[in-house]
């Protein structure tokens, strides 16, 4: 499949914030073949006129738990412990693969309609998730979030179910779909496991060339309890076990400090900023401008739909841009362009993928945004409009890995009626 986009206005996200105008972008197979102002030689299977639209890279949602879409808004407004123990955990305990598949498909539909082309997901039932992602057409780094609640001295990889699962999902899905799926090594969090699991997972990551996905310093109590337990922060105690040796993503990082940031910067560990989840759950405001200044790569995530309650990264871009300006009482504390990098090219780097930029050789993960919509008129600055004025429903086309998977409100890989039916007749009755 090859596609030629004509009359292209595009934010290339090439590191220089180049805006291509009156240009051409072509794809060949899963990748971008050409970006420039000369019309490339054909033939092409399809030509798409981009007049009135703005092209940008598809979003990388760098931290999510997509099956939790089933729990959208469930138990909202309660304190964290009540929310988790009375609402979320009991519902999750009843999930099976079919319910997870339905919830995954529903979440992917919302993401695709609002411009996501790649995710980093952490959840159980990875086989069911993997199949839905493959079918949807977007890319994913999948992980299972390893936990181990036993005594450290009793740990054995031969009996640890999450170690066995890590091996299982790696064998089944790592690299599947010609790289559409990758499996990350993963530790759920410092407080839900212990040194021997961390060392085993670090070794597994090195052996299998996997990056790492961990929840880090999301809440003050989690951070301070780690300091009390280990005499060091989650970033540092995990680093001591080699967890960051292959780089990866540390989700949340609300309470990380300067010493953590030095390690993250050195070890290619990206912080995933999940601003809505952090605010809604009362976790706090991550020190993103300071982290960025310290050289930490920042990417953007929605977290699970249970603590957001949406998967529209436009909302997170807007919040990430405004929040830090407001918190610092400085309208220059965070720019629209910085936030666009977080949501696209930084996410690609964090996941070890060539996505998030419109450059030859990168994945053809591209979206078109309707700049004729009343909420995007006029346009004095494309980045300001995309970050502050656009929302997911302005996405009129989503191309993932060279294939158009959503166009003008229609899903081309997903059956929305079937998904809603599965959610309502199977998943919800099962778990609630």
Instruction: Find the binding residues for a second copy in span 73-92 (CB under 8 A).
Output: 73-80, 83
Closer to a second copy by CB, 33 or 271: give it.
Answer: 271
What residues from 277 to 296 belong to the interface with a second copy (CB under 8 A)? 278-285
Closer to a second copy by CB, 209 or 331: give it.
Answer: 331
Cα–Cα distances in angstroms (integers) from residue 356 to residues 118, 156, 328, 365, in the given order: 9, 39, 28, 7
What residues from 204 to 243 belong to the interface with a second copy (CB under 8 A)? 220
Closer to a second copy by CB, 121 or 312: give it.
Answer: 312
101 binds a second copy (CB under 8 A): no
- Alpha helices, DSSP H only, in 351-426? 382-384, 416-422
What residues from 125 to 164 belong to the interface with a second copy (CB under 8 A)? none
The values of phi and psi at residue 49, to 5°, are -85, 125
Site string for a second copy, 388-427 (x = CB under 8 A): xx-xxx----------------------x--xx--xx---
HEC sequence for 263-314: HHHHHCEEEEECHHHHHHCCCCCCCHHHHHHCCCCEEECCCCHHHCCCCCHH
What residues from 322 to 341 belong to the interface with a second copy (CB under 8 A)? 322-323, 325-333, 335-336
Closer to a second copy by CB, 77 or 231: give it.
Answer: 77
d(CA 171, CA 181): 12
256 binds a second copy (CB under 8 A): no
428 binds a second copy (CB under 8 A): yes
- Which range, of 2-10, 258-266, 301-309, 396-404, touches a second copy by CB under 8 A? 301-309
- Alpha helices, DSSP H only, in 137-268? 161-173, 176-179, 195-208, 220-230, 234-240, 258-267
d(CA 389, CA 396): 16
> Which DSSP state fits 77?
T
342 binds a second copy (CB under 8 A): no
d(CA 211, CA 194): 19
10 binds a second copy (CB under 8 A): no
- Dihedral (CA of 60, 63, 66, 71) sign: negative
List the beta strands (DSSP E) in 12-52: 19-28, 31-36, 46-49
315 binds a second copy (CB under 8 A): yes
What residues from 360 to 389 belong to the interface with a second copy (CB under 8 A)? 372, 374-375, 377-381, 384-385, 388-389
> Which DSSP state fits 115?
T
Question: Min. distance of Cβ 263 from a second copy in angstroms?
Answer: 25
Quick one: CA torsion of 213, 218, 224, 230, rounded to 10 degrees? 0
Closer to a second copy by CB, 284 or 360: give it.
Answer: 284
Closer to a second copy by CB, 36 or 432: give it.
Answer: 432
Question: Min. distance of Cβ 330 from a second copy in angstroms?
Answer: 5
Closer to a second copy by CB, 46 or 78: give it.
Answer: 78
d(CA 228, CA 190): 12
Closest CA to 306 of 58, 62, 60, 89: 89
- Which range, of 184-192, 207-215, 308-316, 356-364, touches a second copy by CB under 8 A? 308-316
319 binds a second copy (CB under 8 A): yes
Closer to a second copy by CB, 283 or 344: give it.
Answer: 283
Question: Min. distance of Cβ 272 from a second copy in angstroms?
Answer: 16
DSSP bridge partners of 392: none
Question: Min. distance of Cβ 345 from a second copy in angstroms?
Answer: 19
Per DSSP bridges, beta strands 59-64 and 116-122 are parallel
Question: Min. distance of Cβ 356 from a second copy in angstroms?
Answer: 21
358 binds a second copy (CB under 8 A): no
Residue count at the site for a second copy (CB under 8 A)? 72
> Which DSSP state fits 93?
H
What residues from 111 to 130 belong to the interface with a second copy (CB under 8 A)? 113-114
311 binds a second copy (CB under 8 A): yes
The values of phi and psi at residue 77, to 5°, are 90, 0
């Amino acid at each position: 499949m090859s596609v030629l986009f004509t009359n292209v206005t595009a934010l290339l996200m090439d590191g220089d914030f180049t805006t291509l105008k009156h240009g051409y972008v072509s794809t060949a197979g899963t990748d971008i073949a050409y970006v420039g102002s000369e019309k490339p030689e054909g033939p092409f299977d399809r030509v798409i006129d981009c007049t009135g639209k703005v092209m940008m890279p598809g979003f990388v949602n760098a931290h999510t738990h997509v099956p939790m879409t089933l729990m959208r808004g469930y138990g909202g407004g309660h304190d964290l412990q009540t929310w988790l123990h009375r609402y979320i955990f009991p519902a999750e305990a009843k999930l099976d693969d079919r319910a997870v598949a339905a919830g995954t498909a529903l979440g992917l539909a919302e993401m695709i309609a609002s411009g996501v082309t790649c995710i980093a997901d952490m959840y159980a039932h990875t086989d069911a998730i993997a199949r839905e992602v493959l079918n949807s057409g977007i890319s994913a780094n999948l992980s299972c979030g390893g936990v181990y609640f036993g005594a450290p001295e009793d740990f054995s990889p031969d009996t640890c179910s999450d170690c066995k699962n890590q091996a299982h999902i790696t064998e089944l899905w790592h690299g599947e779909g010609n790289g559409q799926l990758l499996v990350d090594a993963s530790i759920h969090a410092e407080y839900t496991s212990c040194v021997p699991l961390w060392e085993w997972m670090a070794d597994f990551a090195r052996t299998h060339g996997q990056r790492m996905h961990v929840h880090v310093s999301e809440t003050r109590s989690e951070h301070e309890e780690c300091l009390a337990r280990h005499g060091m922060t989650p970033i540092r105690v995990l680093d001591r076990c080699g967890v960051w040796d292959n780089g990866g993503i540390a989700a949340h990082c609300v309470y990380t400090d300067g010493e953590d940031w030095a390690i993250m910067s050195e070890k290619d560990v990206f912080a995933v900023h999940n601003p809505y989840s952090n605010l809604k759950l009362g976790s706090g405001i991550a020190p993103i401008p300071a982290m960025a200044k310290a050289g930490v790569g920042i990417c953007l995530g929605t977290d699970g739909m249970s603590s957001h309650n949406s998967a529209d990264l436009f909302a997170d871009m807007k919040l990430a841009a405004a929040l830090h300006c407001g918190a610092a009482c400085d309208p220059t504390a965070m720019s629209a362009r910085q936030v666009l990098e977080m949501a696209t090219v930084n996410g690609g780097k964090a996941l070890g993928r060539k996505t998030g930029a419109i450059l030859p050789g990168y994945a053809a993960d591209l979206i078109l945004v309707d700049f004729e919509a009343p909420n995007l008129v006029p346009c004095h600055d494309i980045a300001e409009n995309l970050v502050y004025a656009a929302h997911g429903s302005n996405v009129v086309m989503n191309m993932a890995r060279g294939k158009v998977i959503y166009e003008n409100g229609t899903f081309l890989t997903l059956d929305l009626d079937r998904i809603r039916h599965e959610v309502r007749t199977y998943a919800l009755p099962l778990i609630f």
